[in-house]
Amino acid sequence: MTALDHQLLDVNGITLSLYSAGPLDGYPVWLLHGFPECWHSWRNQTQALAEAGYRVLVPEMRGYGQSSAPTDPAAYDVFSICADIQAAMNALGQDKLCVIGHDWGAQIAWHLALLEPQRVESVVGMAVPFGGRAKKPAIEIMRQIHADSFNYIVYFQTPGVAERELDADIAKTMRMMMHNSSAAVPKDFFLQAKPLGARLFDGMQDPGALLEWCSEEAFAVYLQTFDGRGFYGALNWYRNFERNWELSASIAGQRVEQPALFIIGDKDPVATLEAYTLKRMPELVPRVEQHVLEDCGHWIQNEKAAEVNRLLLEFLARHA
């Protein structure tokens, strides 16, 4: 296995836990995880990229693991989270690099590409496409559509509600999240219709065991990420749709002009949620190269690690 370095950086008013691997003089590649994962979700990519000579940087994002988890939900807007990464880049003296993100990490990667057009020379998004700034916050639309039915993002909005369910059994929560939005279940099983007042895991399957792409050793790192803390920091990312929209006025209409790669699984429920955005993305990211991986759910970098690594290495070879 590739040797890992670890450091705690004081940046942007928080402590940022950062893992890194590969030669110190290698081209920097940042890997940003999503919800509810951890830095170790990039274990396959960290090794492959480091062995290829890249300097790989994998933070525990704000609210996760050893990084700070502010109690105020307003501390988790995308621009504050981008500022964490930007300050870390400054501290490490990096002026040219690639940013790769999955799920919420993809949102941060797309925004870093907008905010840092000179430093971020190329960008990769997985699962979550770039849709630009909407005419109004997406949460308003979700609340209207789901006024009489369950929606998991609406369910996440009130502090303490989702925490009571997710924190009750962290191992079960992680098994359920991994299983019910992977290729092990029918497409969009995670999005099944439920009545208002339902909970996240109502109607879903508890596999009772780990999926083949997550070993017991890897799962232990996921659990450690939330041990003693629970999910409140991770859930707070979802509580900033209005704030993100208000703060993004200055970049409204901007396109991601850098070379870009987008990868999604054919069974990822996000593909259903973001169907319109996926069609529109080439207008907003004119240099994007898109790939849909077959028999793959939401956890793309582990469900299809070899295919993802191949696409990343080919992309970086052209643009890093």
In angstroms, the CA 232 to CA 218 distance is 22
Catalytic residue, chosen from 40, 111, 179, 298, is 298
Is 103 considered catalytic here?
yes
Is 111 considered catalytic here?
no
In angstroms, the CA 314 to CA 29 distance is 14
Q: Which backbone phi and psi does 288 adopt, to 5 degrees?
A: -80, 140
Strands of the chain, DSSP E: 5-11, 14-21, 28-32, 55-60, 97-102, 120-126, 260-265, 288-293
In angstroms, the CA 61 to CA 215 distance is 22
Catalytic residue, chosen from 77, 103, 111, 179, is 103
| DSSP 3-state of 211 | coil
80: Cβ contacts below 8 Å, ≥ 6 apart: 12, 62
Active site (catalytic) residues: 103, 298
